[in-house]
Amino acid sequence: MVAVSPRQTPRKAKHITPGAPKERRCNRCPDRPLLRECAHSAQARKTSSKNAPVTQQSLASQVSSPDTPVLEAPPLHPQARLGAHLLLNQNLQDILPLTPSQHRRVSVEDIPIDPALQASEQPASHELATPTRPQSPPYTQTRPRPQSPPYTQRRPNEEHLSLEELASDDDQPSNLCPDRSSPAGPRQSNLTFVNLNSQSARFSSSSVTSAASTPSASRSGSSRIRVSQKNQPYGRIKGAMRGNLEWNVPRRREVEPYDLTRENRTKQFQLRMARILQRCEEVANVTGCWLYISSQIATSNHGFVHFASDALIRDADQRMNDLHAFHSNMHTALSRATVRDVAQVEMENVQVRAQLAEAKESEAAARQSVSEMQKKLDEQERKLARILELLPSADVNESAI
């Protein structure tokens, strides 16, 4: 019995990436340039054998075969046809071999032009630069940079925004471009944007200057209010003292009134006190002052908020304990008094509500008894009226007897 070996899996063919094709060089030239750049290539020999200028008609006859009909393109503009002809001649100059004596600037007059194109329109004279070969000496050409035409004011379009020049005097030029030779500084714009569709919409920026020249201008466009000791539009801070004398500190903003209906008093207290404590820390660190502040709210469930600067803790030493104990006892007493007063008022309100309910019940019972007595009185009055009606008839009967 012949043992059969297990089938071996075929090896995977390694993927060999094809390398870049090796560029061939010309053996006829002494410098051995690349064959695609040499004059001995087949493409160069093919083009050099033709001495006659190549035109569009000749290229069309070479490309098209007799079996394939040639489709006539729509007539081009004379300038477009002239540009295509110039581009074609420039490409031919790139392909043709050049000698060192041919490295010069070629003008339009040296390129043969089709008589039909020349008769249609004569192009503006401009120059073209021919390419250079690698083996030739270095040849550089600097093309003159075209000068930008001066900016002129155009006629505004009736459907869009236009620009108007606001000349302050008659000697001011009509050019809207700013003078770049002027020294640096706050520049002002003399332009205004006018919406021709709506007569009321008009935005003028003639008075707008940089932020450095007008620091008092606000972003919204209105002038900023400057607060000083003489100008106090929001009044002064109440309770600010310097010893026994009042300190006149103007307010920087309006004071929010006390809101009795606000429910999140504790949250507002924490947020605003956090800002105040940050300011206190900044003042203490910058100036090194002795600073102590404490605060508490009646509806709070935590201890009172206080802050003491490092300089005060360092210099006051043991007296800080007495100061802290005094403020703690004061806030605790105020909180308890407030809670006690609130509880007492609430109990009084409950008693008043109970008395009012009893009074309402007694009033309802009294009204019911009054209505019953009124019914009885009405019944007695009806009986009395019947008795009075029977009395005259009884008197008549007695007289007849």
- pLDDT tens, 310-361? 999 999 988 999 999 999 989 988 888 877 777 777 788 888 888 899 899 9
Residue pair 312/290 in contact (Cβ under 8 Å)? The answer is yes
Residue 273 in this model has a pLDDT that exceeds 90:
yes
Q: Which residue has the tokens 């820390």?
A: 281
Residues 6 or more apart from 196 whose CB is under 8 A from it?
Answer: 156, 157, 158, 159, 160, 161, 162
By CB neighbour count within 10 A (0-12 exposed, 13-18 middle, 19+ buried), where does 327 fall?
middle
pLDDT at 116: 55
Cut 0.95: pTM above it: no
pLDDT at 263: 72
Higher pLDDT, 389 or 207: 389
Of the listed ranges 147-156, 185-194, 215-224, 284-293, the one predicted with least confidence: 185-194
Residue 47 in this model has a pLDDT that exceeds 60:
yes
- For residue 359, the SS3 value is helix
pLDDT band at 177, cuts 50/70/90?
Answer: very low
pLDDT at 43: 66
Question: Tens digit of pLDDT for each residue in 74-132?
Answer: 666 666 666 666 666 655 555 455 555 554 554 545 555 555 555 544 544 444 445 55
pLDDT at 341: 78
Q: Hey, where are the domains in the chain?
A: 80-132, 225-254
Residue 369 in this model has a pLDDT that exceeds 70:
yes
Residues 6 or more apart from 210 whose CB is under 8 A from it?
Answer: 186, 187
Question: Tens digit of pLDDT for each residue in 212-262?
Answer: 344 444 455 567 888 888 888 888 888 888 888 988 889 888 888 887 666
pLDDT band at 72, cuts 50/70/90?
Answer: low
Any idea what DSSP says for residue 185? S
Average pLDDT over residues 377-385: 89
Residue pair 36/26 in contact (Cβ under 8 Å)? The answer is no
d(CA 269, CA 284): 22
Average pLDDT over residues 354-371: 90
Of the listed ranges 19-33, 140-154, 354-368, the one predicted with least confidence: 140-154
pLDDT at 275: 94
Residue pair 227/251 in contact (Cβ under 8 Å)? The answer is yes
- The strand pair at 241-242 and 292-295 is best described as unpaired
Q: Which residue has the tokens 């019914």?
A: 375
Of the listed ranges 23-37, 52-66, 200-214, 342-356, the one predicted with least confidence: 200-214
Residue 387 in this model has a pLDDT that exceeds 70:
yes
Nearest 5 degrees, angle CA 59-CA 65-CA 66? 120
End-to-end CA distance of the chain: 171
Tell me the average pLDDT of the chain: 69
- The strand pair at 127-129 and 161-165 is best described as unpaired
> What contacts 24+ positions apart, CB below 8 Å, involve 80-85?
81/117, 81/120, 82/113, 82/117, 82/120, 82/121, 82/123, 84/56, 85/56, 85/113, 85/114, 85/117
- Residues 173-187 as b or e (16 or more Cβ within 10 Å = b): eeeeeeeeeeeeeee
pLDDT at 58: 54
d(CA 223, CA 236): 22
